[in-house]
Structure 1
Amino acid sequence: MKKILFVTSEAHPLIKTGGLADVAGSLPKALAKLGQGPIIDATTETESEPATEHGQDIRLIMPNYQDIQHVEKPRYICTLRVDNRDVNILETHLPDSDVIAWLVDYRPFFDYPGNPYVDDHGNPWHNIAERFALFCRLATEVAMNRAHLDWTPDIVHCNDWQSGLVPALLSLESKAPATVFTIHNMAYQGVFPGAIFSALNLPGQLWHPDGLEYHGMLSFIKGGLVYSDRITTVSPTYAQEIQTPEFGYGLEGLLSHRHTILSGILNGMDLEQWDPSSDEHIVSNYTARTIKQKLPNKTALQQRMSLPVDENIPVFGLISRLVEQKGIDLVLACLPHLVKQPLQIVLLGSGDKSIELKVKNFAHLYPDKIAVTIGYDEQLAHQIEAGADIFLMPSRFEPCGLNQMYSQRYGTIPIVRKTGGLADTIEDALPHSIAAGSATGISFNDASAGALLEAIKRAQILFENKQAWRKIQQSAMKKDFSWENSANQYLALYDAISDA
């Protein structure tokens, strides 16, 4: 049994801004369950064997934001004097689990409403460096058992730049626990003016080009990349991509230098929340064996979105942030061609205001072809995954991605660009893969409207071949995207560090 301190700036359902929260809310629970008995996968209806004799002893630590949604009232456990500040630690649990969550409670930094990272105008909070430096100091104190919690971890697992100083600070300690640092998105690095380093009162030994210094600036993420015992990211392909200038954002050289300790482990998905056999958000539940029951969901989606009801017209779903990273510009470039085709598009998302306006204009001009909902609606998201035939996800880059996993589980065939986690989770529907029963989606290489349009045409042709289409759907629905699978890979990584 391993003792693991999971350091994160957010965790679902306590607070969420992105995919990190999904990981932090699911992976610790999956690790805690490993070895506690067989788990039934509703998709394949098979029983998996326990991986260990005991579940892992995992504790999560994160800031105590004002907007955290508590299922149980946290209790005070101690106060630490850190960097001339008195900081409380509160204790609660991740909802629906036995995983203990420690909340770093310092009101001047964390006790005000809103996003953990940016204000209402999308600008980083003025004291964001101070906030997460203090958080990292507290996590270090807990890791070294100086919070007097009578618990010392074997592994400290840090996530993204907000926790990047923890491996750096632990590198200065005697008999420190081993460290893992997971990159969820290299585009966000926590880089600040060099003067901030002194203002944060950080140890001078860390300020050099091979440490936290980055071209005269302070880089939080470098703390994780330089000082961790192992570096992971959220898909094998993304682990390779971030070693290139296109995806490394200036740190590709460092990542290439440390490639021997860098690996990619796919995120899992919540199999209980996203399960077509029991989903309460959809009108008709179904499995891979009863996939004909998917059709009523298509009819209901067409009716809800005021589109003509026609089971023979392919419905394309798209749930996304409306930003260039997600390839929305490629979709926009294709729309003049697509509106001439016998198809329908249902879009749910928000983001760039100019993109929002463009997609709404298309929906206004072609109300029988395109339906757009700006914002996010959890129920509608489930109904799109269940009711659409095809899911569009043409991201320019995608560290892991979840919607392509949801789509496969719901028998909704994803069209993806071959990048990051999209490349690792989709088997392209080519003649040999369809014949072998391994095809689960459609992928294309170039980030261009022409390449996306060709992929859409391929999907339309396959959709007309009902036998081949059904085979692809059933292959997709049987894929294993469980967190248990991912947790086993992390546990093997922890074991490798311990045995080194």
Structure 2
Amino acid sequence: MRVLFATAEAYPLAKTGGLADVSGALPLALRRLGLDVRLVMPAYPSAFMRIEKPRIIAKIPPLLGIADATLVEGKFPGSDLPVYLIDSHSLFRRPGGLYQDEAGAEWPDNPLRFAYLAHVSAALAMNRLGISWRPDIVHANDWHAGLVPFYLSLEEAERPATIFTTHNMAFQGNFSPEWLSKLRLPRAYFQPGGIEFYNQISFLKAGIRYADRVTTVSPTYAREILTPEFGCGMEGVLKLRGADFSGILNGIDDALWNPASDPALPHHFHASDISGKRACKAALQEELGLPLRPDVPLIGFVSRITHQKMADVILEALPWLCNQDTQFVSVGEGDPKMEAGFDQARELYSHRCATVIGYDEAMAHRLQAAADILLAPARFEPCGLTQLYALKYGTLPIVRRTGGLADTVVDASAASIADRSATGFVFDKIAVDDLKAAITRALTLYREPLTWRRLQLQAMAQDFSWDASATQYAALYSAASGIAIDLGDRDQHKSVAEPETTRQAAV
């Protein structure tokens, strides 16, 4: 089966968040299953720097007023995954971030930039760019690629089947209707049953409404976004998709995130010998100027510093936490006022608190390896990856019971400790007292070394690699396209449950 995977970012070519981690790992896992997957994304400067063996394979005909674009083919770093970069100097070769300028303001032409991504992806899917390859499935990701299923739905000729994955319903790509004609969007579709959302064009709604199948990134989040609390106004659109909507849990790249071989770590370790984890802890304490205390619990927070990630609640708890004979380290960036709050905590509690403002991938790895406990709460969380990394590194996560956090962390209750299923600590309410209570439970068990070691072993034994998730996606591709997929010797994951549909979620 041939699959075109359309995304705005993929690590390590370009990254702002979890979408890049998924887009950099899922296609590779699908190729391991024998699928002919190819990635298409914009040619940001960072992507050009990191792609392997790039070469121009097509001149893209003038489209949406853009006449300077070429299609560049190369290989995803360290793999045989083909990548198509859409190279337009006027759209993608610019300073600043992927979606924002150097001052942090959204690029005003983002509607054009990502409609262009969708148009070129659709042209690739219909084999109109002369590369002699046509997919059976087009898998579009998040609002940036939301117009891909819509444009393909307008095709009169036979077209590939389409899958659309929403990674976070809060990011919708809503723009003024003034863009309709500029983006070649037929005005007849600008209505509630089409791509209109509160008198704006919605790229996200276009993907949900016009893809053949729709997925999100965890079963619990799939249930949650059918409700007004989490659906961000589109719960009705999702409900209309019925059994065509499902939740498939994200995985992690366990080659990239592996404490036994992680090149970012000063010392390696594995489940049967975690002496290297203790050495990583000492190294990080020294690096950040914290007292070298092997006995004190080191609590980490690796996250965007945002309201969604409950950074405000963590800040409220910090004075209490720093008086519990603990050490706290945060790594991340986000809301400037909350960043300042973490900096202030570092100044007030310099012997117990360290803060790294700005996202540092290598530091994130080192903190996951060094920490004993990871704070990973959220007001909502489609899937979450940091808690999965923590489990892999024997760092017990503290999470709120929502979305993918609820699907991946088993609370350390008396029963789950006894039956050896516990892997972390879960609380329910968005309140500082509930967070503090979960931390208190974790600190109590930390001081019981045998119990804590057993919890670490159980956490590290969890398998959240992409293999099982990729098998579920392969089954979805088969159902959407009507093409059988023979996994052959790769059949070990066929026992994985089918994705949970909205019909099942309503039960």
TM-score class, shorter-chain normalisation, is: over 0.9
**1:64 alignment partner in structure 2:** 43
Aligned-partner Cα distance in 2 for 1:5–1:492: 16
Helix, strand or coil: the match of 1:280? Answer: coil
User: Among residues 399, 419, 424, which one is paired with 2:402 in the alignment?
Assistant: 419
User: Among residues 67, 72, 83, which one is paired with 1:90 in the alignment?
Assistant: 72
User: Among residues 145, 152, 175, which one is paired with 2:127 in the alignment?
Assistant: 145
Equivalent position amino acid for 1:145 in 2: N
User: Among residues 445, 453, 462, which one is paired with 1:479 in the alignment?
Assistant: 462
Helix, strand or coil: the match of 2:60? Answer: strand
Query: Aligned-pair distance for 1:92?
Result: 1.0
Helix, strand or coil: the match of 2:20? Answer: helix
Instruction: Check the 8 A contact 2:391/2:459 in 1, yes or no.
Output: yes
**1:469 alignment partner in structure 2:** 452
Equivalent position amino acid for 1:256 in 2: K
Aligned-partner Cα distance in 2 for 1:73–1:440: 43
**1:332 alignment partner in structure 2:** 315
Query: Aligned-pair distance for 1:118?
Result: 1.2
Helix, strand or coil: the match of 2:398? Answer: strand
Query: Aligned-pair distance for 1:296?
Result: 1.9
Query: How many residues are paired up?
Result: 479
Any residues of structure 2 matched to 1:350-499 within 5 Å, and which?
350-499=333-482
Any residues of structure 2 matched to 1:248-287 within 5 Å, and which?
248-287=231-270
CA distance 1:121–1:84, change in 2 (3 Å): closer
CA distance 1:111–1:255, change in 2 (3 Å): same
CA distance 1:80–1:376, change in 2 (3 Å): closer
Instruction: Check the 8 A contact 2:304/2:332 in 1, yes or no.
Output: yes
Aligned-partner Cα distance in 2 for 1:201–1:293: 57
Helix, strand or coil: the match of 1:496? Answer: helix
Over the residues paired in the alignment, what is the CA RMSD in angstroms? Answer: 1.6
- TM-score relative to the length of structure 2: 0.91
Helix, strand or coil: the match of 1:289? Answer: coil
Query: Aligned-pair distance for 1:91?
Result: 0.9
Aligned-partner Cα distance in 2 for 1:144–1:398: 35
Helix, strand or coil: the match of 2:3? Answer: strand
User: Among residues 74, 89, 99, which one is paired with 1:107 in the alignment?
Assistant: 89
CA distance 1:305–1:257, change in 2 (3 Å): same
Aligned-partner Cα distance in 2 for 1:259–1:309: 55
Helix, strand or coil: the match of 2:52? Answer: coil
Helix, strand or coil: the match of 1:24? Answer: helix
Aligned-partner Cα distance in 1 for 2:388–2:235: 28
Equivalent position amino acid for 2:273 in 1: T
Instruction: Check the 8 A contact 1:232/1:265 in 2, yes or no.
Output: yes
**1:6 alignment partner in structure 2:** 5
Aligned-partner Cα distance in 1 for 2:348–2:45: 43
Is residue 188 of structure 1 aligned with residue 197 of structure 2?
A: no
Query: Aligned-pair distance for 1:152?
Result: 1.4
Instruction: Check the 8 A contact 1:180/1:228 in 2, yes or no.
Output: yes
Equivalent position amino acid for 1:27 in 2: L
Equivalent position amino acid for 1:439 in 2: A
Helix, strand or coil: the match of 1:157? Answer: strand
Instruction: Check the 8 A contact 1:155/1:178 in 2, yes or no.
Output: yes
Is residue 168 of structure 1 aligned with residue 147 of structure 2?
A: no
Aligned-partner Cα distance in 2 for 1:178–1:102: 20
Query: Aligned-pair distance for 1:226?
Result: 0.4
Instruction: Check the 8 A contact 1:67/1:114 in 2, yes or no.
Output: no
Aligned-partner Cα distance in 1 for 2:112–2:333: 31
Equivalent position amino acid for 1:20 in 2: L
Which ranges of structure 2 fall in alignment gaps of 5 or more residues?
A: 484-507
Instruction: Check the 8 A contact 1:168/1:206 in 2, yes or no.
Output: no
- TM-score relative to the length of structure 1: 0.92
The runs of at least 4 consecutive aligned structure 1 residues that moved more than 4 Å come to none
Query: Aligned-pair distance for 1:436?
Result: 1.3
Aligned-partner Cα distance in 2 for 1:85–1:364: 51
**1:76 alignment partner in structure 2:** 56
Equivalent position amino acid for 1:22 in 2: D
Helix, strand or coil: the match of 2:100? Answer: coil
Aligned-partner Cα distance in 1 for 2:278–2:79: 35
**2:101 alignment partner in structure 1:** 119
Query: Which stretch of the first structure deviates more once superposed, 423-432 or 361-370?
Result: 361-370
**1:16 alignment partner in structure 2:** 15
CA distance 1:413–1:225, change in 2 (3 Å): same
Query: Aligned-pair distance for 1:84?
Result: 5.5
Aligned-partner Cα distance in 1 for 2:50–2:186: 35
Is residue 206 of structure 1 aligned with residue 206 of structure 2?
A: no
CA distance 1:166–1:497, change in 2 (3 Å): same
Deviations 1:414-445 (A, max 9, x none): 00111111111101111111111111110101
Aligned-partner Cα distance in 2 for 1:453–1:402: 22
Instruction: Check the 8 A contact 2:122/2:152 in 1, yes or no.
Output: yes
Helix, strand or coil: the match of 1:156? Answer: strand
Deviations 1:352-401 (A, max 9, x none): 22212222222212222212222233332222111111111111112111
CA distance 1:363–1:205, change in 2 (3 Å): same
Equivalent position amino acid for 2:52 in 1: E
Which ranges of structure 1 fall in alignment gaps of 5 or more residues?
A: 35-54
Equivalent position amino acid for 1:348 in 2: V
